[in-house]
């Protein structure tokens, strides 16, 4: 009986040792099951060219910034080339999305001291074949998972082309400065006249570009002031700015409206 108890005790001790050894072994990860990582795999970033129906996009980088509430945000940099046959707003040619951990990120604007002109470039019109540098700014979680940005055609049912960014190791802004390609002989204006009849709301107006001059802006920048002659041919009181769409282009890119340091009487007309 004693021999049986001793043998049983030895067997139980061996079983306990084997059990402890098994607990100490590291269980291999099951990569075929559910996602066991908080972030997707992100390779080293490379510039990515994306061909869409109306434009070509070249993604250049992504950097961390602060928004106007001093919250963490990303700024995604890319060049857009208008490959359509029409002059159009830059951001009308693509749909941009940004997600992190399965949630859509909220678009934002940079803190004023680090704001860049490229953030507003999407609101400018560009001529066919012209390239412009722009960016998108979105809030994100610094301790979150992979940031996934996507580009697609508007109203497309296809999956967007996506690029992943590691929020802890963003590639930064493009190192090379963007240089606008100069257009000395623009073909877009070869059939346009400096004067003619403009029709709006079934009313015809006589309009003529009279002259232009360079003036100084509030921050010392150079502006161009364009003078128009406007004749109201309607039976009602009408204003030039309410009935006429006017714009200016240089090198195929729309120039933003600005304000001179010193005004003239025509500014109020």
- In the chain, pLDDT over 90 holds for what percent of residues? 66
Instruction: Decide if pLDDT at 133 tops 90.
Output: yes
DSSP 31: T
DSSP lists the bridge partners of residue 76 as 62, 136
Predicted confidence at residue 22, as pLDDT, reads: 43
Tell me the backbone φ, ψ of residue 181, rounded to 5 degrees: -75, 125
pLDDT band at 43 (very low <50, low <70, confident <90, very high): low
Nearest residue to 90 via CA among 78, 98, 82, 99: 82
What mean pLDDT do residues 171-193 have?
Answer: 92
CB contact at 8 A, 190 and 172? no
- Distance, CA of 99 to CA of 6 (rounded, Å): 65
Q: Give how far Cα 82 sits from Cα of 28, 88, 90, 130, 178, Å.
A: 50, 8, 7, 6, 16
Instruction: Decide if pLDDT at 112 tops 80.
Output: yes
* Domain spans, the chain: 48-165, 187-268
pLDDT tens-digit readout, 241-262: 888 888 999 999 999 999 999 9
List the single range of 140-149, 155-164, 189-198 with lowest mean pLDDT. Answer: 189-198
pLDDT tens-digit readout, 44-93: 789 999 999 999 999 999 999 999 999 999 999 999 999 999 999 999 99
**Residue located via tokens 């951990």:** 101
User: What would the DSSP string read from start to end of 96-138?
Assistant: EEEEETTEEPPB--B-GGG--GGGGGGGSEE-TT-EEEEEEEE
Range 48-165 has CATH code 2.40.100.10: no
Model's pTM, two decimal places? 0.78
- Distance, CA of 140 to CA of 90 (rounded, Å): 24
What mean pLDDT do residues 189-199 have?
Answer: 89
pLDDT band at 33 (very low <50, low <70, confident <90, very high): very low
- In the chain, pLDDT over 70 holds for what percent of residues? 84
Predicted confidence at residue 7, as pLDDT, reads: 45
- Distance, CA of 232 to CA of 17 (rounded, Å): 100
Nearest residue to 170 via CA among 150, 151, 142: 142
Of residues 34 and 163, the one with the higher pLDDT is 163
Mean pLDDT of the chain: 86
Angle at CA 50, nearest 5°, toward 168 and 83? 140
């Amino acid at each position: 009986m004693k021999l049986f108890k001793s043998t049983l005790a030895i067997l139980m001790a061996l079983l306990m040792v084997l059990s402890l050894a098994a607990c100490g072994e590291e269980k291999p990860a099951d990569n075929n099951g559910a996602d066991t990582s908080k972030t997707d795999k992100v390779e080293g970033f490379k510039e990515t060219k994306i061909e869409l129906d109306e434009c070509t996009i070249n993604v250049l980088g992504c950097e961390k910034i602060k928004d106007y509430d001093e919250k963490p945000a990303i700024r995604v940099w890319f060049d857009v080339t208008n490959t359509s046959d029409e002059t159009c707003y830059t951001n009308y040619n693509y749909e941009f999305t940004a997600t992190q951990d399965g949630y859509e990120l909220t678009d934002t604007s940079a803190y004023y001291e680090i704001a860049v002109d490229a953030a507003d470039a999407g609101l400018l019109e560009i001529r066919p074949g012209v390239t412009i540098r722009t960016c998108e700014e979105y809030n994100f979680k610094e301790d979150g998972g992979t940031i996934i940005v996507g580009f697609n055609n508007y109203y497309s049912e296809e999956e967007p082309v996506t690029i992943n960014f590691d929020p802890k190791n963003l590639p930064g802004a493009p190192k090379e400065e963007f240089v606008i390609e100069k257009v000395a002989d623009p073909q877009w204006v070869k059939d346009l006249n400096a004067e003619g009849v403009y029709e709006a709301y079934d009313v015809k107006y006589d309009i003529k570009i009279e002259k232009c001059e360079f003036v100084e802006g509030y921050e010392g920048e150079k502006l161009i002031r364009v003078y128009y002659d406007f004749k109201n041919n309607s039976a009602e009181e009408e204003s030039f700015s309410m009935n006429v769409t006017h714009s200016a282009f240089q090198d195929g890119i729309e120039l933003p409206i600005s304000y001179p340091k010193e005004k003239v009487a025509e500014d109020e007309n």
